[in-house]
């Protein structure tokens, strides 16, 4: 598992009757890789993992692994209410053939550091797969501090990466100061990607890549090369859309962008509901305005839709 490049936090597509659309999921995963993404991360926050039953999660991982084969890695989001279920999901992901795990804190109970670190350590010990810790204190009310992450990495050799979603770019520099290049750091907040790369991040767990993979890959690659007029122009265009990833209804918003680009549907699973009324009107105005000014360079032209 190489923790680098653009790895979309792939959305979970649903049919009209609310079931997981495995046929579309397979096409979508292949299309993302066709358009330059280095792999996919399934069952994350954007994948609506808390609303999925255990057997649905296993089936989604199987579909993604079968669709991509040896072309690109599938990373399994390991999130659950309890540690035992998380361990079982990690073992199933390894059995299916996933290349890595993204370890989330428990969904409901946000305990003290001793409890949360023990939860992560138990999952790390249960698998031989390469693992990435997902730090998102805003969503999960658990904040893994750089010093705690460094200790986990010292004690568990299969912890190789951190998805940093605190929104504080200083966390990236702090992790690098503590561990150098021992841990790959990946940005988990879309509108922080340029700053994150400048601070030393080597990858991006991207949301808007579900609808705009070529633009996402181009932005990431330009950011890694350093400041340039081309980077500034693309970033300026993309930023209003990237900010949708930081909204409380980011799942509905990103799926709405997918629908507008013909790369998915806005269907979500309750308790989420599609946007309506003035909220939907405002979102569509922003999305359509941005898409009307979409860069036309050949290098950014997306390939056939999934």
pLDDT in tens, 263-272: 999 999 999 9
Residue-level pLDDT at 165: 95
Residue 98: inside a domain, yes or no? yes
Residue 291: inside a domain, yes or no? yes
Please give the average per-residue pLDDT across 2-22, as a whole number: 98
Question: Where residue 139 falls among pLDDT bands split at 50, 70, 90?
Answer: confident
Choose, from 57, 140, 163, 255, the residue flagged as catalytic.
163
Query: What range defines the domain where residue 194 resides?
Result: 5-300
Alpha helices in the chain (DSSP H): 22-34, 54-68, 83-96, 113-125, 137-140, 146-155, 170-179, 193-199, 213-225, 229-242, 250-261, 277-292
CATH number at residue 227: 3.20.20.70
Q: Across all residues in the chain, what is the average pLDDT?
A: 95
Say how far apart CA 282 and CA 265 lie, in whole Å.
18
Residue-level pLDDT at 96: 98
Residue 82: inside a domain, yes or no? yes
Torsion 208-139-14-17 (CA) sign: negative
Residue 68: inside a domain, yes or no? yes
242-252 pLDDT, tens digit each: 999 999 999 99
Residue-level pLDDT at 239: 98
Choose, from 57, 134, 140, 255, the residue flagged as catalytic.
134
Nearest 5°: CA angle at 196, between 230 and 64?
90
Q: Which residues have CB under 8 Å from 82's CB, separation 6+?
A: 106
Question: Where residue 180 falls among pLDDT bands split at 50, 70, 90?
Answer: confident
163 is catalytic: yes
Say how far apart CA 161 and CA 283 lie, in whole Å.
34
Residue 306: inside a domain, yes or no? no
> 245, 207 in Cβ contact below 8 A?
yes
Q: Which of 91, 6, 103 is nearest to 49 (CA)?
A: 103
Say how far apart CA 73 and CA 155 lie, in whole Å.
25
pTM: 0.95
Is 60 annotated in some ligand binding site? Answer: no
Question: Where residue 301 falls among pLDDT bands split at 50, 70, 90?
Answer: very low
What's the domain count of the chain? 1
Range with the lowest mean pLDDT among 108-112, 121-125, 220-224, 248-252? Answer: 108-112
Q: Which of 212, 207, 205 is nearest to 31 (CA)?
A: 212
Question: Where residue 306 falls among pLDDT bands split at 50, 70, 90?
Answer: low
Residue-level pLDDT at 300: 58
Would the pLDDT of 302 be above 50?
no
Residue-level pLDDT at 179: 76
84-120 pLDDT, tens digit each: 999 999 999 999 999 999 999 999 989 999 999 999 9
Would the pLDDT of 305 be above 80?
no
Residue 305: inside a domain, yes or no? no
Q: Structure tokens of 73?
A: 């890695």
Neighbours of 54 (CB within 10 A): 12
57 is catalytic: no
Please give the average per-residue pLDDT across 223-247, as a whole number: 97
Would the pLDDT of 50 be above 90?
yes
Residue-level pLDDT at 88: 98
Residue 278: inside a domain, yes or no? yes
Residue-level pLDDT at 227: 96
Residue 249: inside a domain, yes or no? yes
Beta-sheet strand order (sheet of 74-78): 5-8, 203-206, 184-187, 159-164, 130-135, 100-103, 74-78, 40-42
């Amino acid at each position: 598992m190489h923790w680098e490049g653009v790895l979309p936090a792939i959305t979970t597509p649903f049919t009209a009757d609310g079931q997981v659309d495995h046929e579309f999921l397979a096409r979508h995963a292949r299309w993302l890789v066709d358009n330059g993404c280095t792999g996919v991360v399934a069952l994350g926050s954007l994948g609506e993992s808390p609303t999925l039953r255990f057997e649905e999660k296993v089936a989604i991982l199987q579909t993604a692994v079968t669709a991509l084969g040896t072309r690109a890695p599938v990373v399994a989001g390991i999130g659950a209410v309890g540690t035992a279920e998380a361990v079982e999901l990690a073992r199933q992901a390894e059995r299916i053939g996933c290349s890595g795990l993204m370890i989330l804190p428990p969904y409901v109970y946000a305990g003290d550091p001793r409890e949360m670190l023990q939860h992560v350590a138990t999952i790390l010990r249960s698998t031989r797969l390469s693992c990435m810790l997902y730090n998102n204190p805003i969503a999960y009310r658990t904040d893994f501090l750089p010093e705690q992450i460094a200790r986990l990495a010292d004690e568990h050799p299969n912890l190789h990466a951190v998805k940093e979603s605190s929104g504080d770019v200083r966390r990236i520099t702090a992790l690098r100061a503590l561990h150098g290049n021992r841990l790959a750091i990946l940005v988990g907040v879309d509108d922080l990607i340029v700053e994150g790369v400048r601070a030393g991040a080597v990858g991006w767990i991207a949301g808007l890549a579900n609808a705009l993979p070529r633009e996402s890959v181009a932005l990431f690659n330009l950011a890694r090369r350093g400041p340039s007029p081309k980077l500034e122009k693309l970033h300026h265009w993309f930023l209003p859309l990237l900010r949708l990833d930081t909204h409380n209804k980011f799942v509905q918003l990103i799926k709405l962008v997918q629908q507008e680009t013909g790369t998915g549907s806005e269907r979500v699973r309750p308790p989420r509901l599609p946007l309506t009324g003035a909220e939907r009107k405002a979102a569509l105005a922003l999305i359509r305005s941005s898409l009307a000014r979409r860069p036309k360079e050949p290098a950014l032209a997306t390939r056939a839709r999934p």
